[in-house]
Every structure is written in C-alpha cells, then in structure tokens.
A and B are shown apart, each in its own frame.
Chain A
C-alpha cells in the first residue's frame, strides 16, 4: 500500500470520528498528503510514512498551534519544535493537532477553549488530561502514536483512562524547544502508543541533546527497541504499599494487586518500599507549577501574536482585557495562584519551602532505587470520571494527579500500561517509574507485560 493511501485512510478516520470525540483541533490534510507524496521516493527512513498526531502546544511550522486557548486561537507556529523536526527527518507524517486542556492545565481535557474530548470507551466520560486529544486519537485507532506533554502526569493519566501506553521520559531526554512553556522545571514531551514497541521507536527518533534547549542533556540515546525482549527475571519491582490504600477505587486497587502478582509470575522480584514524602507531591507541585506558569504566561499580552481585545484606549488596558478575555478560568486561577505564592512577603512561606520539600521527594526516589529497578503504583486513583463531575472543584481535580506528579518533581521517567477493565468496562492502568535515564527498562517491562496480558477489548468508538 502506498504511503498516500495510508495517510488518506488516517485523515478520513480522523474526520469521521472527530464529531464524536473532538480529539483533533485540526486535521492537516493538505500538509500530510504533500508529505506522503514526498516520502514515496525517499528511502531508508526509520519512521517512513508513520502517521502521528501532535498535541496542540507543540509547534508545527505553518500549522495551527493554539494550546487549546482562545488567546492563541489563530496562531500558526513560525518554526517546528525539535521533536517535530526530528520526527519529520525520520519520515513521520504529522496528520493533525490534538485537543488539550488550555495550556496543559487540567486533568480531564475540560478546560480546552474548544470543548472537551470524549473518552472513546464511553463518550460520557473524560479521556483524562491534559493530553486528552492525543490519548483519544491513539485509543480510537486513528493513529498508532501521538506526542503529548507532561507537567504533572498529562501523558500517563490520559493513557490510563484511555487504555493505551503513555511514556514520560527523564527530564532532559527530549528537547522542549518549541513546546509552549507551562512550568519549565517540570515540562516534558511524552509519547503515546498502542504498544511499547511503537513508543520505543518514536522515542529513539526524537530523544537527545539539542542546541536550542539548554536543559536537554548530553546523554547517549540507546536503541530502545533492543530493550523490549530482555528477560525480566531478576528485575526488582518496588511497591509503596502505604500509597495503595486510602483514596483509591477498590477496582483500581484490585487490578494493581493483580498486576503485581503478574510481574512476580513473569520472574520479577517484588519488594516493599517507602516514599514518605510522596504525599506532599500535590502541594509542592501546585506551588512550583503555578509559580512558573505565572511567569511563562506573562508573554501572552496581545502584542506579537494571537488574540487582542478590541475597544481599548491605552496599552495597559489592552494587556488586562486581552488576558481577561483570552484565558479561561483554570488558567486564570493558576496564574493568580502563582502570582500569589511569588508575591512579596509570601515567597519564603510557599515557593522557597516547596523547593526544599521537592528535594525531599527526589531523595525518596534515590533511596528507593537502591532497593529496586522500578516502582509500581496505580497511574490514577480512579477510572475515567464523568464529564462535569469534577469541573467545579479544582482541588478535587488536582488530587487526581497524586500518583503522577512526584515523577515530574524528581525528574524521573514513568510509563502507564493498561492492566484491566473495571466492571463498567473502563480501562485501568498501572504506572512504573524508574531511575533517571531508565526508559529502556520501563519499555522492556511494559512490553513484556502487555505481551503476556494484553487488554483484550476495544473502545466502543474505534475506527472500522
């Protein structure tokens, strides 16, 4: 089959399912077909003809990059993010930009200025967030892989809610050049796939040092695919039992306990570990992430790009009105929280303190990885919740990220892998986090698990 035919199928599936899922903010047919035609005659590319969906906060030259926000509703990026550039160089085809919580702030995709994304397993439920559109696009079978971004769990949590695999790499593994900044000490680009093998390929193509991102680390990029089939006998899985108790849905808990036993049966050693400071993760996160966001989002002022409020008489009024009309409620809340915790007289009590507790959260992991290779927890305390269920209670929404934020605070990699369905037929995922630069080990364990225990069900909304 020709690349053009393949890509035409993907584009048509994306268009067909979008009225039900709202997972794409734009389907880029003209761009994708031109790429397909060009690629027909190019040989030797690792990802030749692979259709990929890209979260709308990752810059794609000439294509819409709105961040799910009214303030950038008409913005077309003037350059490609490094991850996108590398995907293109490897022969992948960007087929569209995916819906997301506005500026990646949310855990349900309901804060998008362009409407929520529906979960392909049950359209009355959220797909998770903030990379909900990318997760739904992969879960519904439109694309095999998609790029997302993570600041506190925005790849792993929607992967879990949508029954697919989602990887957040080590901080510094993938260049963030061209990823619209939310919280710079926490942001990562992540990868969604229907399986770990596809993620290994994509990660290998985009990882590595980039001169345009000074936080990208000069660490060699291994052949991640070569890790997949390694024997996991002798690998040690740490389980922080005190974290898998209160506040977790019983069905999730049972599925996690089963997956621990499944790893044991695959030959892994299971050990108990403790992460005493993990329970402060959310509090630390919502100080550091909002503080950094209040600074990063100061650039949206209506001067250089995007939306500008009308009927203003002077400059200051233009800033205030543009931001008031351009940002949604969750973004305003977080900008204001960040402004508050950084403001004169409060800095030491909040921000400086949070930075110190962040050190303790990271130390927890360094200590734990002296005793185990990976740590297993639920990805999320619940299965996908109903649209609207938590949207009026910001704190309840934040507490969703309890299992995921700590990896972002520490800078370590994590992966979410499907491990069963609830009685209502909704996916449950476990999360593995590993030491710095251990993506190969995470992909190995994920691959072995999904091969032995595949999720033998499909979402109700799936391509024909």
Chain B
C-alpha cells in the first residue's frame, strides 16, 4: 500500500518514521481482510446500515418548522480562533 498517498487523501501529514511503521502493519491488515475473497457473494444483497426491520419502519420525518439551535456564542465559544461572529482560519489561497 502506498501509505503516503493514502495519508494525503486522509489529510494527514505523516512523517517518514510513520510511513515505515504503518506500511507493514497496514499491508498485514489488508492481507487479512482479503480472506473475504473466498466467500461466494453471488446474488447476496449488501447490508447498507445497522437498522433492524423495526428501525427501518420507524417514521423519522417531521414537519419543517423552525426550532431552537445553539446560539452563536456557544457555537463559537470552543473555536481555537473566532472573530466578529466567524470562525477564523489561516489564509485559504
């Protein structure tokens, strides 16, 4: 596995030491999960989530009404950097 490339896709700036550590570990895990190749899945439907039949039958829609939400002060209160009602980040370009 090209761990450097995968790390880039995952937005992780990993070090050379980490590449050396993770590559054999992840290769081993991938080899292990590849045993699924021996299972005959012809005509088997995928299980797309964890819901039971009762869960699937549960009505989850509600009327489109305005309800309360976090106020601006608490939404911004935990931000590493906030200014004038906004989250502040380093320059984008």
CA distance A163 to B58 in the complex (A): 37
**With A75-B78, A215-B55, A324-B14 as given contacts, are A355 and B47 in contact (CB-CB < 8 Å)?**
yes
Check: B20 CB closer than 8 A to any chain A CB: no
Choose from B29, B50, B54, B92 the contact partner of A337 (Cβ within 8 Å).
Answer: B29
Question: Which chain A residues lie closer than 8 Å to B14 at the CB level?
Answer: 324, 332
Contact A287 B33 (CB under 8 A): yes
Q: Give chain A residues whose Cβ lies under 8 Å from the Cβ of B36.
A: 280, 283-284, 287, 350, 353-354, 357
Alpha-carbon gap, A214 to B70, bound state (A): 20
A76 to B32, CA, bound (A): 39
B51: chain A residues at CB < 8 Å are 171-172, 215, 217, 411
- Per the bound structure, the CA–CA distance linking A353 and B33 in Å amounts to 11
Q: How far is the CA of A360 from the CA of B87 in the complex (A)?
A: 46
Q: Is B93 in the interface zone, CB < 8 Å from A?
A: yes
A186 to B47, CA, bound (A): 12
A209 to B62, CA, bound (A): 14
Residues of A within 8 Å of B28, CB to CB, are 394-395
**For the complex, is B83 an interface residue (Cβ under 8 Å from A)?**
no
A356–B74 contact, CB under 8 A?
Answer: no
* CB-based contact B47/A362 at 8 Å: yes
B2-60 contacts to A (CB < 8 Å): 3, 6-7, 9-14, 18, 21-22, 25-26, 28-30, 32-37, 39, 41, 44-55, 57-60
Quote the shortest CB–CB distance from A144 to chain B (angstroms): 29
Contact of B58 with A217 in the complex, beta carbons under 8 Å: yes
Q: A362 — which chain B residues lie within 8 A by C-beta?
A: 47
B90 to chain A, nearest CB (A): 5
Count of CB-CB pairs between chains A and B under 8 Å? 195
Verify A335–B10 contact, CB threshold 8 A: yes
The residue in A209, A216, A395 that gathers the most chain B C-beta atoms within 10 A of its C-beta is A395
Residues of A near B1 (CB, < 8 A) are 340
Would A218 and B59 be within 8 Å (CB), given that A78-B74, A303-B79, A336-B22 are in contact? yes
Whether the Cβ atoms of A436 and B52 lie closer than 8 Å is yes
Q: Is A313 an interface residue (CB 8 A)?
A: yes
Interface string of A218-246 (1 = CB under 8 A from B): 11000000000000000000000000000
* Contact present for B11 and A301 (CB under 8 Å): yes
CA distance A181 to B78 in the complex (A): 19
Q: Mark A330-365, 1 if CB is under 8 A from B, else 0.
A: 001101110111010000001011111111101000
B84 close to A (CB within 8 Å): no
Give the contact stretch, choosing among A16-24, A267-275, A304-312.
A304-312
- The answer to whether residues A286 and B89 also contact, given A171-B55, A333-B25 and a CB cut-off of 8 A, is no
**Would you list which residues of chain B between 55 and 86 have a CB under 8 Å from chain A?**
55, 57-60, 62, 70, 74-75, 77-81
CB <8 Å contact, A350 and B33? yes
* Chain B binder among A47-55, A99-107, A132-140, A314-322: A314-322
Residues of chain A with a CB closer than 8 A to B12's CB: 320, 323-324, 327, 332, 335-336
Question: Which has the most chain B C-beta neighbours within 10 Å: A171, A317, A352?
Answer: A171
A185-B49, A186-B50 as given contacts; A303 in contact with B89, CB under 8 Å: yes
Residues of B within 8 A of A (CB): 1, 3, 6-7, 9-14, 18, 21-22, 25-26, 28-30, 32-37, 39, 41, 44-55, 57-60, 62, 70, 74-75, 77-81, 87, 89-93
CB pairs A–B below 8 angstroms (28 shown): A171-B52, A172-B54, A184-B49, A185-B50, A211-B62, A217-B58, A280-B36, A287-B36, A303-B79, A314-B90, A314-B92, A315-B90, A317-B90, A329-B18, A332-B10, A333-B22, A333-B26, A336-B3, A336-B12, A340-B1, A340-B30, A359-B44, A359-B47, A360-B39, A360-B41, A394-B29, A436-B52, A436-B53
Q: Which chain A residues have a beta carbon within 8 Å of chain B's beta carbons?
A: 74-76, 78-79, 170-172, 184-186, 209, 211, 214-219, 277, 280, 282-284, 286-287, 294, 298, 301-308, 312-315, 317-321, 323-324, 327, 329, 332-333, 335-337, 339-341, 343, 350, 352-360, 362, 394-395, 398, 408-409, 411, 436-437
9 closest residue pairs by CB, A with B:
A355-B46, A308-B80, A320-B13, A305-B78, A185-B50, A217-B55, A172-B55, A356-B41, A214-B60
Apart from A313-B91, A339-B6, A354-B36, 16 more pairs, CB < 8 Å = A78-B70, A78-B77, A184-B50, A185-B50, A216-B55, A301-B11, A303-B80, A305-B78, A329-B18, A336-B6, A356-B41, A357-B39, A358-B46, A359-B44, A395-B25, A411-B51
